[in-house]
Amino acid sequence: MRKNMHPQVNSQYKIIAVDDEIGILDSLKVFLSKAGYSFVGVTNPLEAIEKIRNEHFDLMLLDFLMTPIHGDQVVEEIRKFNKDLYILLLTGHKDLAPPLETIKRLDIQGYCEKSDQFSQLLLLIESGIKAVSQMQLIKNINSELQTANNKLEEAYMETIEVLRFTVEAKDAYTKGHSDRVSEYSELIGKNLSLSDTDLKTLKLGGLFHDIGKIGIPDSILLKTTKLDNDEYSEIQNHPAIGAHILSNATIFKDIIPIVKHHHERFDGKGYPGKLAGNDIPYLARIAAIADAFDAMTSRRSYRDSLPLDIVKEEIKKNSGTQFDPEIASLFLHILETQTDEINRIMRKIKKTVNVNTFTIFLF
């Protein structure tokens, strides 16, 4: 036995050998048990497939010529549910091994000719076990990094939530606005049969679409009279500010187009990019009409909420100019046919949420 073989270390690794010659399995069992490995021998390749499906093994020694199926067919089945198992193919003669293309395709790590002397095989097993050990170490490190990253993203999400609540806490007339825009956007997305991923993006994008207003002075944000040109230019910066705030966390990368472009107009006269038509991100076009609808149906310091009939007329009038005409048409249909759901969102019940030192009222 090689001097660097340590049974107390090797015993944590489990090897399965598949060969229809029981004598070979018996020899391997004696040899590998002495080397300190946990060993299982199987003569039936079909049984071996099920055993690997239900138990953990680190490395497999596999005969090529077997009945009722050959070794490459065994690997074909195993790779359907196990991509990690380290496989060494045993052949009675090198000329009987499968083609190199097959070995690569099935991710067989190596092969060895059968022999009464197991020294070459032992070298390949040692090398394989080292590779398995390194891969496990890498997986553990990646798992730890992912856990740390998740905690970091959770902390960042909480910070952004505080900023969002802070924006809405400034103005009694806009509390709950982002929550409603989120729900309207998601409702439109469901009626468009969008994927679950897109629906999640719409929901999150609606919640944070106005986060950039944290960077707008209160004197402008809370002004009850008409904004002058300079003030209007200043408030037009909030989508870009919001996109910049969210760009520091990968969890927000999918919603940045919504945050940045929800004030674009279909005719190209919006901001900040003056994008037009299909150049405007699709989900941003959905959020844009949800945002406008909630703005029109909510009370403001300078006006009461607009009657629903007037809001519908405004949407019709601005279809194709401010709004994507197809989305506008669908939303008008929703307003006509899903009144209970629309009213539910409009009448969201107040509840108090404590965030650090803030007391925020959500609608």
Q: Domain extents for the chain?
A: 7-141, 170-362
Q: Hey, is 41 helix, strand or coil?
A: strand
> What confidence category does residue 10 fall into, taking pLDDT thresholds of 50, 70 and 90?
low
Residues that are catalytic:
213
Burial class (CB in 10 A: 0-12, 13-18, 19+), 94: exposed
Q: Please tell me which residue, 28 or 93, carries the higher pLDDT value.
A: 28
> What confidence category does residue 51 fall into, taking pLDDT thresholds of 50, 70 and 90?
very high
Each residue of 200-233: pLDDT tens digit?
Answer: 999 999 999 998 888 888 888 777 788 888 888 8
**pTM higher than 0.85, yes or no?**
no
Q: What is the CATH number of domain 170-362?
A: 1.10.3210.10
Question: What are the residues whose beta carbons fall under 8 Å from the beta carbon of 244, sequence distance 6 or more?
Answer: 212
Q: What pLDDT, on the 0 to 100 scale, is given for residue 302? A: 64
Each residue of 68-105: pLDDT tens digit?
Answer: 998 888 988 999 999 889 998 887 666 666 667 777 77
Q: Output phi, psi for 183, to 5 deg.
A: -70, -40
Contact 220, 235 (CB under 8 A): yes
Q: What is the CATH number of domain 7-141?
A: 3.40.50.2300
Q: What pLDDT, on the 0 to 100 scale, is given for residue 109? A: 82
Alpha-helical segments (H) within 170-195: 177-191
Each residue of 121-177: pLDDT tens digit?
Answer: 888 888 888 888 888 888 888 888 888 877 877 877 787 777 777 777 766 556 789
Lowest mean pLDDT among 31-45, 116-130, 239-253: 116-130
Average model confidence (pLDDT) across the chain: 84
Each residue of 251-278: pLDDT tens digit?
Answer: 889 999 999 999 999 999 999 999 999 9
Q: Please tell me which residue, 361 or 110, carries the higher pLDDT value.
A: 110
Counting other chains too, the contacts that 196-199 makes at CB distance below 8 Å and 24 or more residues apart are 197/254, 198/283
